[in-house]
Amino acid sequence: MSDNCLFCKIAAGQIPSNKVYEDDAVIAFHDINPVAKVHFLIVPKHHVRSLLETTADDAAMLGKLLALAPKLAREQGLTEGFRTMINTGEQGGQSVFHLHLHVFGGGGKAETMMAQLIQ
């Protein structure tokens, strides 16, 4: 645990969250600033600053994050599809420096923005 990390504090129960899922290694919770009707984060409890700092030793953890995404998305009503995103580093848009996977869908600002990019 990193003492100054927001997501470490959420994982430790020091800061409340609207949980979607939790086990010994991972916590998932709704984003406090959602960009879609459904927007939650999947976060490893073990502190890893960003995807840039992962190694081969993190393969199982990374696989778990990705395997949980469709399961939790379906449970949140995203049965027709969803987006995932991992912001990596400051230049990659990361604002909380603890690895996390965004899962979002169901309409909203993010989908409007993506539709504009595709056109």
Report the CATH number of the 6-118 domain: 3.30.428.10
Q: Tell me the residue type at 32.
A: I
Q: Tell me the residue type at 56.
A: A
Q: Structure pTM?
A: 0.91
Which residues are known catalytic residues? 100
Domain boundaries, the chain: 6-118
Output the tens digit of pLDDT for each of the chain's 119 residues: 677 999 999 999 999 999 999 999 999 999 999 999 999 999 999 999 999 999 999 999 999 999 999 999 999 999 999 999 999 999 999 999 999 999 999 987 766 666 655 65
Query: According to the model, what pLDDT value does residue 112 have?
Result: 66
The torsion region of residue 9 among left (phi > 0), alpha (psi -120 to 50) and beta comes to alpha
69 contacts 96 by C-beta, under 8 angstroms: no
28 contacts 41 by C-beta, under 8 angstroms: yes
**Is the C-alpha dihedral spanning 41, 42, 45, 49 positive or negative?**
negative
